[in-house]
Chains A and B, each alone.
Chain A
Amino acid sequence: MTAEATSSPVSPAEGPVAGPGTPGPATGRGPRARTTAAYLRYVAGKLAGAAVSLLAVLVTSFFLFRLIPGDPVRFMTGGRPVSAEQIAVYRREFGLDLPLWRQFTDYCGKALTGDLGTSYQFRAPVIDKITEALPNTLLLTGTAFVLYTALGIVLGTRSAWRHGGLGDRLNTGLALTLYSIPSFWLGLLLIIVLSVGVGPVPGLFPTGGMESGGKEGLAHAVDVAHHLVLPVVTLVAVEYGQTLLVTRSALLDEMGGDYLTTARAKGLRDALVRRRHAVPNALLPTMTLVFVNLGRTVAGVILVETVFSWPGLGGLFYQALSVPDLPLVQGLFFFFAAAVIVMNTLADLLYPLLDPRVGR
């Protein structure tokens, strides 16, 4: 997992830059070669940073779950009376009879090959449970991510462009309110109102899960989409406010810029000044924060999947917590953290291609 994660960002990022920038032997070191070299140095720095971060996550995930007072076997057996032999069998099965440093090196070695241990609860490899649930989470998170980022950017741009007006105040107020609402609570309310139904209103959407079962092809896709509506609405509602506020303040920063006055002076329509000149410059800080805030999105996903019984990683995390199934909690902890780090690194590698001011 780790090996793949750290090496994979290189190939897509190097492709477009190394191609046109590679100097021919006759031309010598031109300005493009210099920028390519600078970019490669930037890439190397970011990759090294990501590798250190991933290592830190690995170390944390190992030692954090050894902080538990007492024996992990006690958690596994859940307080049931077990014989001493049974405990010894468990200890050998999960490698708990080895000294701590051996457990650690084993853990790291296995994690590098994608083995995150065996779940106590499901008696199955943690990595299998993760790969099983991952597509469902990607479907939910991906849909919500696209929608809340787009919504946040569009509304944030409008808000900043007419800042101080009624629309701006309503927009910011609503975003702040939704931002202060616990996502799980909003999900529960939506279930009561739109799935269970209140008074004469019938339930419009399923209360949870991902499919009703027994459907094929197009009908199955429609069914999944039907199940997807409420979780996505909940996630979008609690997350778009952040993007809106960041876009708004990034654009407000740009609005004093002389280049906008110039654009207006040469007679461009207001909408064009906004779309072609101001917004592209404001997007970079927005995108940076969107990626830094992915950690917050993970929190939202865990809660929303729990509330809607969505069969994804978040729902799995909740199941693991309630036992507690430590190898699964540990594996998911590692996976969530690693995923966020990898996404952030990818974003870091893309910025210089989007905005030449970064990384030079």
Chain B
Amino acid sequence: MTVKTAAQPGPHTPGPRALARQRRRASAARFWRQYRRHRAGVLGLAVLVLCVLVALTAPLTVGADAQSVTGAPGGPLESPSARFPLGTDRFGRDLLGLVIWGSRVSLLVGLLAAVLSVAIGTLIGITAGHFRGWYATVMMRITDWFLVMPTLVLAIALATVLSRSLGTVVLAIGVTTWPTTARLVRAQTLAVEARPYIERAKALGGGHWHVMSRHVLPNVMPLVLAQTTLIISSAILAEATLAFLGLGDPTVVSWGGLLQDAREAGAVSSGAWWYLVPPGVAIAVVALAFTLCGRAVESVLNPRLGVSR
């Protein structure tokens, strides 16, 4: 009887897809209502929206010539003035324009690296939670190994042996930062798989793929979302660090690369603080904004964490 109504919806009852859509919309609204109560989270989100807008509109607001070394508008290492609000770099380029251009690379690399890292972590976490036995043991052993390893040292080693490009940086950060996600997702998978409806799905003939993709994955998604936000923040810091150590892509402008330029140009000993302050502040602000968002999402999902609002 119920099966029949679900398969052939009447003219007034919404179909299963519409029902699912409605439910999803309701839970998104509930999530947003709770998220809004975290002042720090809202602040972080606002900062992020602003940064993304600035990064996306960079070609319109500053133009591509801001990055070109030839024909730079000012003299080298000019302190801030009305014409160059943040001063100029060692080639005489406007630092404000460079910081705006740099946001594109830093945000992009941070985002891609975090997505890669969380994807690996989720895959390993779900499969290690679903398939017990030797597979899970081996996977968790590998996870623990990566968890203890000094991430930056591993990333540096990878970036050293591969060619200098943004893809290398994304890869180096992605394959070294996934273990925390894998452990969190595995724990959640074990909790979900203990629920009765999983047994029901299996009894009805649901295979491994069906259980993992239709039942476990939707239940770990909120956790994965929170984890992504937190990892973007550390990925942005890692990108800046690699670029500062000279392991980034030398052909693009990024915040870490600007800091490396500043150090090489002797900005420290000549006291050219305006060369150092803006890229660093930009990194810190964006990393902090992602951390605040991540913590707010985490505490909406798990109120026991007691994150201050």
The answer to whether B259 touches A188, judged by C-beta atoms less than 8 angstroms apart, is yes
The answer to whether A322 touches B246, judged by C-beta atoms less than 8 angstroms apart, is yes
B308 at the interface (CB under 8 A from A): yes
The answer to whether B271 touches A198, judged by C-beta atoms less than 8 angstroms apart, is yes
Judged by DSSP, the binding face of A is helix
The one of A168, A169, A329, A340 that contacts B149, using a Cβ cutoff of 8 Å: A340
Contact string against B for A residues 329-360, beta-carbon threshold 8 Å, 1 for contact and 0 otherwise: 10011001100110010000000000000000
The one of B150, B160, B279, B292 that contacts A336, using a Cβ cutoff of 8 Å: B150
A7 at the interface (CB under 8 A from B): no
The answer to whether B157 touches A340, judged by C-beta atoms less than 8 angstroms apart, is no
The answer to whether A68 touches B246, judged by C-beta atoms less than 8 angstroms apart, is no
For residue B259, which residues in chain A have a CB less than 8 angstroms away from its CB? 182, 184-185, 188
Contact string against B for A residues 31-67, beta-carbon threshold 8 Å, 1 for contact and 0 otherwise: 0000000000000000001001100110001001101
A180 and B263 CA atoms in complex are apart in Å by 20
For residue B237, which residues in chain A have a CB less than 8 angstroms away from its CB? 180, 182
CB contact under 8 A between A299 and B153, given known A180-B284, A182-B284, A321-B246? yes
Q: How many residues of A contact B (CB 8 A)?
A: 59
For residue A65, which residues in chain B have a CB less than 8 angstroms away from its CB? 157, 161
8 contacts between A and B (CB under 8 A): A176-B291, A180-B233, A182-B284, A185-B279, A185-B280, A189-B280, A197-B271, A303-B244
| Min C-beta distance of B236 to chain A, whole Å | 9
The one of A181, A249, A292 that contacts B147, using a Cβ cutoff of 8 Å: A292
For residue B256, which residues in chain A have a CB less than 8 angstroms away from its CB? 182
CB contact under 8 A between A191 and B268, given known A65-B157, A184-B244? yes
The answer to whether A192 touches B268, judged by C-beta atoms less than 8 angstroms apart, is yes
For residue A292, which residues in chain B have a CB less than 8 angstroms away from its CB? 147-148
For residue A340, which residues in chain B have a CB less than 8 angstroms away from its CB? 148-150
- Further pairs besides A168-B308, A176-B288, A182-B259: 7, Cβ < 8 Å: A64-B157, A180-B233, A180-B237, A192-B276, A295-B150, A299-B152, A303-B241
A67 and B168 CA atoms in complex are apart in Å by 13
The one of B150, B163, B240, B308 that contacts A299, using a Cβ cutoff of 8 Å: B150
A19 at the interface (CB under 8 A from B): no
The answer to whether A189 touches B153, judged by C-beta atoms less than 8 angstroms apart, is no
B contact set with A: CB distance below 8 Å = 40, 141, 145, 147-154, 156-158, 160-163, 233, 237, 240-241, 244-247, 256, 259, 262-263, 268-269, 271, 273, 276-277, 279-280, 283-284, 287-288, 291-292, 295, 305-306, 308
The answer to whether A179 touches B148, judged by C-beta atoms less than 8 angstroms apart, is no
A185 and B268 CA atoms in complex are apart in Å by 11
Between A173, A176, A207, the greatest number of chain B beta carbons within 10 A of the residue's beta carbon is seen for A176
| Min C-beta distance of A190 to chain B, whole Å | 10
The answer to whether B157 touches A192, judged by C-beta atoms less than 8 angstroms apart, is no
For residue B152, which residues in chain A have a CB less than 8 angstroms away from its CB? 295-296, 298-299, 302
Residue of B nearest to A66 (CB): B161
The answer to whether A207 touches B157, judged by C-beta atoms less than 8 angstroms apart, is no
A329 and B247 CA atoms in complex are apart in Å by 14
| Min C-beta distance of A258 to chain B, whole Å | 17
A318 and B152 CA atoms in complex are apart in Å by 12
| Min C-beta distance of A284 to chain B, whole Å | 18
A53 and B147 CA atoms in complex are apart in Å by 11
The one of B153, B263, B273, B308 that contacts A337, using a Cβ cutoff of 8 Å: B153
CB contact under 8 A between A56 and B145, given known A180-B291, A336-B150? yes
| Min C-beta distance of B46 to chain A, whole Å | 16
